[in-house]
Amino acid sequence: MSLRSRTLSYQNFTLSFPDERILQVTLNRPQKLNSIDKATSREIQGVWELFDHDETLWVGIITGKGRAFCTGADLQEWNRMNQTGEINSMDAPGLAGLPRRSGKKPVIAAVNGICMGGGFEMIANCDLVIASSSATFALPEVKRGIVPVAGCLPRLTRTIGLQRTMDLVLTGRTVDARTLENWGLISQVVDASTDVADAAVKVALEMCKNSPDALIVGREGVRMSWEYGSAEEAVSTLADQWYPRLMRGENFSEGIQAFVEKRPVRWVNSKL
Cβ count within 10 A of residue 140:
19
The CATH number for 192's domain is 3.90.226.10
Question: Are 18 and 99 contained in the same domain?
Answer: yes
Residue 209, exposed/middle/buried by CB under 10 A (0-12, 13-18, 19+)? Answer: exposed
Question: Are 50 and 173 contained in the same domain?
Answer: yes
Question: Are 249 and 187 contained in the same domain?
Answer: no
Taking Cα atoms as reference points, which of 98, 204, 224 lies closest to residue 158? 224
pTM for the structure as a whole = 0.95
Question: Are 18 and 102 contained in the same domain?
Answer: yes
Question: Are 49 and 100 contained in the same domain?
Answer: yes
Task: Decide: 132 and 66 in contact? Cβ < 8 Å.
Answer: no
Provide the annotated active-site residues: 121, 141
Question: Are 61 and 195 contained in the same domain?
Answer: yes
Question: Are 166 and 225 contained in the same domain?
Answer: no
pLDDT digit string, tens, across residues 114-155: 999 999 999 999 999 999 999 999 999 999 899 999 999 999
pLDDT digit string, tens, across residues 53-95: 999 999 999 999 999 999 998 777 766 777 676 666 667 799 9
Question: Are 135 and 237 contained in the same domain?
Answer: no
pLDDT of residue 136: 98
The residues, any chain, with a CB within 8 Å of residue 182's CB and separated by 6 or more, are none
pLDDT exceeds 80 at position 99: yes
For residue 251, what are the domain limits? 212-261
Taking Cα atoms as reference points, which of 191, 189, 150 lies closest to residue 36? 150
Question: Are 82 and 51 contained in the same domain?
Answer: yes
> Would you say residue 270 lies in a domain?
no
The mean pLDDT of the chain is: 94
Number of folded domains in the chain? 2
> Would you say residue 272 lies in a domain?
no
Question: Are 175 and 218 contained in the same domain?
Answer: no
Q: In the beta sheet, which residues pair with residue 190?
A: 132
Question: Are 91 and 13 contained in the same domain?
Answer: yes
Question: Are 22 and 110 contained in the same domain?
Answer: yes
pLDDT of residue 73: 86
Cβ count within 10 A of residue 50:
16
